[in-house]
Structure formats: structure tokens, C-alpha cells
Amino acid sequence: MDQEQYCIELQSGDRQISVSRYGGRILGFSIEGRNALLDTGIQTGSTFWPSPQSLWGWPPPPELDEHLYDVLGATNTSVLLRSQPCAALGIQLYKRITASSHGFNVSYTIENVSDEIVTMAPWEISRIAGGLTFYSADTGPEGFSTCAVDFAVDHYWYRYCPEGLVGIPKIFSNNSGGWIANANNGLLLIKKFPSVDPQEIAPREAEIEIYAHADIKNPYIEVEQQGPFTAIMSGRRLEWGVEWALYQLPESLDVSVGSESLLDFVESTFAQVETP
């Protein structure tokens, strides 16, 4: 079966998103043909899982992460996809992706299709080849984090280097400023989302998470964020959105831990990037 036949291409100015009907996965987020997401290897693109992971263990529910989604509507600037029902969790997932001023709004809806109350949080996982990931937060990483992070200029920074990593290196952080960014290969990806009170976070999870794959033969990171841990009544829905923005960085810009010029660049975009 030709995978390309099951991809949907959306346009927002000089930015593009490529969405596969398989898992409703975002395979590419590009500006002038340059993709910010990982598009090769065993784990690619950006996906969505219910949180906490303890609800399903591993692997993710195939109805949500792998199986073919229905297309409920599509234009060259927006698409609405629907998963098959996931009987194990009692939910069905909708993904709506719509062009915005500097990228795309990615909106998720969890529908409870069971006869019971289900309690979970929305969780977006975006895979990138590496680079420098950074965010603002009022507190440091949670104590159950398994990966070191730098603190400089009132921000937290993680420079991916797979050499020497072992186990499952992951950073968990709460009390964020409602955004996380990654600079890699001259591109700046910013994801903006509604902040969540730590008391509303799923057990043993966090508002912001960074996973560093400890394999030099298959290097990548996951830039993740989660919404509120919510009880969803039978027949009701939980909706949550993330605003994606993408920019080309000037070649002269300092892309290093504690770079004030990089933070200034991010700050200059905030008035332009919509809040979901």
C-alpha cells in the first residue's frame, strides 16, 4: 500500500504540514521545504497519546497511534481526522489541524465512547533529530527526572548528545511559561499551549517532558507537553490545543545554552503566535 496516497498536505504561507492518515501522525512541519520533525528511523513525526502512560504501558494503543484515521473534512489549509474507537481505553480521538499566522493550530479532542467515566490527560509527542530544547518555568525539573538540564538566564536548556546516555533519560517539568522551543539545523520550532496547574497533572507525568533517546545509532529527542488530567463523563469530550510556529534562524544567531539573542528571537514571536 502506497503510504503517500494516505498523506494530506496543508499550507500556511511558506509553511507546510504533512499529515498521515495512519495514526493521524504529523510527518512533517516545514518552512520553504525544510522539515523540523524527524522523518527517518523507527520513531518519526508527531503523535498523540492519552496520559498517564500507566494507562496502557507499551506500545501505544494502535487505534490511536498506528491505524488508519477517517477524514471528516479537508481543504488545503485544514483537516479533521477521527480515529477508530479504542476499546481498551473507551475513547475515540479527533485531530483538527488548521493554518494560522505563523504555522498551524493542532487541536485534539478525546471523546468518551464507553459507559464509564474515563480519566486521562492529553499528551503530544513531537520527535526531532536533536538540537537545543529550552523553556521557561518557575520551578526546576521534578525529582523523578532521569536526565540533567542546564539553568541559565532564567530558562531551562537541554542540548541533546546521545553519547554517554543510558536507560530512559527524561526531563519532567511543571509550572512552565506555556511554551517549549527547539532550535536545530537553523530552524526554530515553538509549541505554545495553555499552562496547567501542577495539581492537574497526570500521576508521574509533567506539563513539559523531554525524552532523549540513548542510542547513537538512532538519535532523536521527543519534545512533549501535556494538558490537564480530567474525568470525562460517558459521551462527553475533552478538548485541548497546541499552537505550532516555525522560523528560519539567522545564521549569525547564537544557538547555545543561555543565548540571550535566541531568547530575544523567541520573545519577538510571542505577539504573533496565537494562544490555543
DSSP class per residue in 208-271: EEEEE---TTS--EEEEEE---EEE-TT-EEEEEEEEEEEEPPTTS--STT-HHHHHHHHHHTT
Q: What is the mean pLDDT of residues 242-267?
A: 97
C-alpha cell at 73: 473534512
Letter string b/e over residues 194-228, b meaning 16 or more CB atoms within 10 A of that residue's CB:
eebeeeebbeebbbbbbbbbbeeeebbbbbbbbbb
Res 4: pLDDT:
58
Q: Which residues pair with 93 in a beta bridge?
A: 110
Res 2: pLDDT:
46
Q: What is the mean pLDDT of residues 118-139?
A: 98
Torsion of CA 249, 104, 35, 61, to 10 degrees: 130
Torsion of CA 80, 84, 88, 89, to 10 degrees: 20
Q: What are 22-42's pLDDT values in tens digits? A: 999 999 999 999 999 999 998
Distance CA 85, CA 64 (A): 8
Tell me which architecture the domain covering 3-269 has in CATH.
Answer: Distorted Sandwich (2.70)
- Mean pLDDT of the chain, nearest integer: 96
**Domain coordinates in residue numbering, the chain:** 3-269
Distance CA 10, CA 81 (A): 13
pLDDT at 74 over 80: yes
Q: Specify the residue for cell string 532550535.
A: 183
* Ramachandran quadrant class, 24 (left: phi over 0; alpha: psi -120 to 50; beta: rest): left
Q: What percent of the chain has pLDDT over 90?
A: 94
Res 3: pLDDT:
56
| Residue 172 near residue 147, CB atoms below 8 Å | no
Cα–Cα–Cα angle for 4, 30, 220, rounded to 5 degrees: 85
| Residue 107 near residue 241, CB atoms below 8 Å | yes
Please tell me the pTM assigned to this model: 0.96
- DSSP secondary structure letter of residue 68: B
* Ramachandran quadrant class, 44 (left: phi over 0; alpha: psi -120 to 50; beta: rest): beta
pLDDT at 100 over 50: yes
Q: What are 191-246's pLDDT values in tens digits? A: 999 999 999 999 999 999 999 999 999 999 999 999 999 999 999 999 999 999 99
Res 101: pLDDT:
86
Q: What is the mean pLDDT of residues 36-58?
A: 97
More confident residue, 215 or 3: 215
pLDDT at 1 over 60: no
| Cβ count near 272 (within 10 Å) | 12
Largest alpha-carbon pair distance within the chain?
57
Q: What is the mean pLDDT of residues 143-163?
A: 98
| Helix (H), strand (E) at residue 127 | strand 118-128
